[in-house]
Amino acid sequence: MSLTPHDRARIIQSAFQARESAYCPYSNFRVGAALISASGEIIKGANVENASYGGTICAERTALVKAVSEGTKSFAALAVTTDVKAPISPCGICRQFIREFCPLDMPILLVPADYTDEFPDGREDGSGKIIQTTVEGLLPLSFGPGDLELPRGAQ
Ligand SMILES: O=c1ccn([C@H]2C[C@H](O)[C@@H](CO)O2)c(=O)[nH]1
Ligand SMILES: [Zn+2]
């Protein structure tokens, strides 16, 4: 799958906007995620923590649950950012959650906090550089919905 430079810029900006709404009084670790649907709609998500820590929902899953529960189930790309000057990668639970809904070759952009669209490929010193990967790249040899399709009569 490919991403136009325009949509790439849109999801990166949207991930930074999504980060503004992070509710993270316990970790103070803000995360913003932005999906673009197959029809070009942007869906944002932020991490939402809970006093019962295990109830926390990551930014990536917030975005996916928002989209899917509103009827959007086809996606073209995901961008994730934090306040850290290194590209941060989705946790294991989110990888499996992404795998449920997104094509294996869908682009995923891990955007460092110091990214600027003035230098879309990073600065000369290597800072601000996005890591671009895919669903398959983050979760190789994955288990997915298709694996539950048992052959006729196998039950
Ligand atoms: O992929 C990740 C990893 C962590 N977090 C959130 C969960 C928690 O609020 C905070 C620290 O783990 O970051 C995300 O939103 N996405
Ligand atoms: Zn996660």
pLDDT tens-digit series, residues 91-144: 999 999 999 999 999 999 999 999 999 999 999 999 999 999 999 999 999 999
ipTM over 0.90: yes
pLDDT tens-digit series, residues 16-32: 999 999 999 999 999 99
Local structure of residue 45 (DSSP, 8 states): E
Superfamily name and number for 5-149: Cytidine Deaminase, domain 2 (3.40.140.10)
For residue 31, which atom of ligand 1 is closest to its CA?
A: 15
60 is catalytic: yes
Where b means 16+ CB within 10 Å and e means fewer, 78-105 reads bbbbbbeeebbebeeebbbbbbebbeee
Q: Which residues line ligand 1 (CB under 6 A)?
A: 24, 27, 29, 31, 47, 49, 56, 58-60, 90-91, 94
User: pLDDT value at position 20?
Assistant: 98
Residue 90 CA to ligand 2 center (angstroms) comes to 5
For residue 26, which atom of ligand 1 is closest to its CA?
A: 9
